[in-house]
Amino acid sequence: MPIPKKAFGRTGHLSTRTLFGAAAFSRVNQDEADRTMELIIERGVNHIDTAASYGDAELRLGPWMETHREAFFLANKTGERNYDGAKAEFERSLRRLRVSQVDLIQLHNLVDEAEWEVAMGPGGALEYLIEAREQGLVKHIGVTGHYVAIAGMHQRSLDRFDFDSVLMPYNYLMMQNATYRAGFESVLATCKARDLAVQTIKAITRRPYIDDQHSHATWYEPLTDQASIDKTVHWVLGNKDVFLNTVGDIHLLPKVLDAAARFEERTPEDVMQAMVAEWEMAPLFV
């Protein structure tokens, strides 16, 4: 079955509801990346989200963007906060990706207040991104972030500038936090009113790693069995207003895509509660 698609906000692009999160390419070789890209194409995924800080991800995507650029909505991120830094990093990203432009450039993880003031102020990264859009190097501008505080910061960002998209955490446990839930719903309402795309991350989080022994490439301990991944993915996709960015581990990616292709309805509350207890799940951000 094909993965459902929906309009990516006001960009005019019809994106698969699962976006390929290229953080999964941070530490893989080209053969592994090639096999993964073949899977993505087979599954019909048409939207890639990467970042300058994702290790070798841009380099791994480069050969594919050189030959398949028109098949994908390509999103990138800069973690730089001032004009000069953002310009240098973005130009480097274009070279590494082997493209002349991207569809979306995002201010990456803009949650710290001091960094926010720099990035959004005179001589800040946003000033360069606007210039890059005027030059045709990018079509749209977004903002991303992690942590409980990001909902409030996103609201501030949307009040300051007319971004085209946001990205923030969204999973069952995260939404049991009343503070975060209220902030998320406020941002979502703003985005719906303005027709902005809402991307979500950390769908299949089980809990933070409890020691330094990491079983997967993700920086949190993920759920790994197909049944549990189905439940979490279907819970996220049950919110028709959001997109799900896939997992940062190429070995879990097929399970996430398989779950997305079989989505019909949101996982019920009692089923999610039982899974939380069964797997001793815990919030990644508190």
Task: Give pLDDT tens digits for 226-255.
Answer: 999 999 999 999 999 999 999 999 999 999
The pLDDT tens digits for 132-174 are 999 999 999 999 999 999 999 999 999 999 999 999 999 999 9
Instruction: Say whether pLDDT at 127 is over 90.
Output: yes
Amino acid at position 166, single letter? V
- The CA-atom distances, in angstroms, between 123 and each of 54, 132, 159, 240, 264 are 25, 14, 19, 37, 47
Instruction: Say whether pLDDT at 219 is over 90.
Output: no
In this prediction, residue 71 carries a pLDDT of 98
Amino acid at position 247, single letter? V
Supply 26's token pair: 């941070």
In this prediction, residue 1 carries a pLDDT of 83
Instruction: Say whether pLDDT at 126 is over 90.
Output: yes
Percentage of residues in the chain having pLDDT higher than 90 = 96
Domain borders along the chain are 5-278
CATH topology of domain 5-278: TIM Barrel (3.20.20)
In this prediction, residue 155 carries a pLDDT of 97
What is d(CA 8, CA 193) in angstroms, rounded to the nearest whole number?
A: 14
Comparing CA positions, the residue from 200, 120, 124 lying closest to residue 162 is 120
Classify burial at 9, counting beta carbons within 10 Å of its beta carbon; exposed 0-12, middle 13-18, buried 19 or more: buried
In this prediction, residue 136 carries a pLDDT of 98
Q: Give the residue carrying structure tokens 């953080």.
A: 23
Angle of helix 30-43 versus helix 253-261 axis, rounded to 10: 0
What is d(CA 39, CA 189) in angstroms, rounded to the nearest whole number?
A: 34
pLDDT band for 213, please (50, 70, 90 cuts).
confident
Mean pLDDT of the residues in the chain: 97
Tell me the whole-structure pTM to 2 decimals: 0.97
Instruction: Say whether pLDDT at 211 is over 90.
Output: no
- The CA-atom distances, in angstroms, between 114 and each of 121, 157, 233, 265 are 11, 13, 34, 41
Amino acid at position 29, single letter? N
The pLDDT tens digits for 67-90 are 999 999 999 999 999 999 999 999
Could you give the count of Cα atoms lying within 13 Å of 242 in the half-sphere of its Cβ?
A: 26
